C-alpha cells in the first residue's frame, strides 16, 4: 500500500512563492509521485509473479 505523505509544509511553501518557482516545484513533486506509483506497480507485479510461481 502506498504511504500517505505529509503535504502541509509543501503546500505552504508552494503557496508563498512566485508563480515560476511554484510551477517548477509542482512539476518536480509530480515526477516524484509518478515514479513512486511506477515502483509500487512493479513491486505488485513481482509479488503476483512470486505467488503464481509457488
Residues 22-54 have pLDDT tens digits of 999 999 999 999 999 999 999 999 999 988 886
Q: Is the pTM of this model over 0.75?
A: no
- 23-28 — which CB contacts under 8 Å span 24+ positions? none
Q: What is the pLDDT of residue 4?
A: 74
DSSP for 7-20 reads -HHHHHHHHTS-HH
Q: What is the pLDDT of residue 1?
A: 58
Buried b (16+ CB within 10 A) or exposed e, 11-29: eeebeeeeeeeeeeeeeee
Q: What is the pLDDT of residue 2?
A: 64
Separation between Cα atoms, residue 43 and residue 49, nearest integer Å: 10
Give the torsion through C-alpha atoms of 41, 45, 47, 51, to 10 deg: 150
Amino acid at each position: 500500500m502506498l504511504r500517505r505523505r505529509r503535504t502541509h509544509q509543501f503546500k505552504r511553501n508552494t503557496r508563498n512563492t512566485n508563480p515560476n518557482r511554484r510551477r517548477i516545484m509542482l512539476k518536480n513533486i509530480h515526477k516524484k509521485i509518478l515514479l513512486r506509483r511506477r515502483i509500487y506497480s512493479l513491486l505488485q507485479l513481482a509479488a503476483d509473479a512470486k505467488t503464481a510461481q509457488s
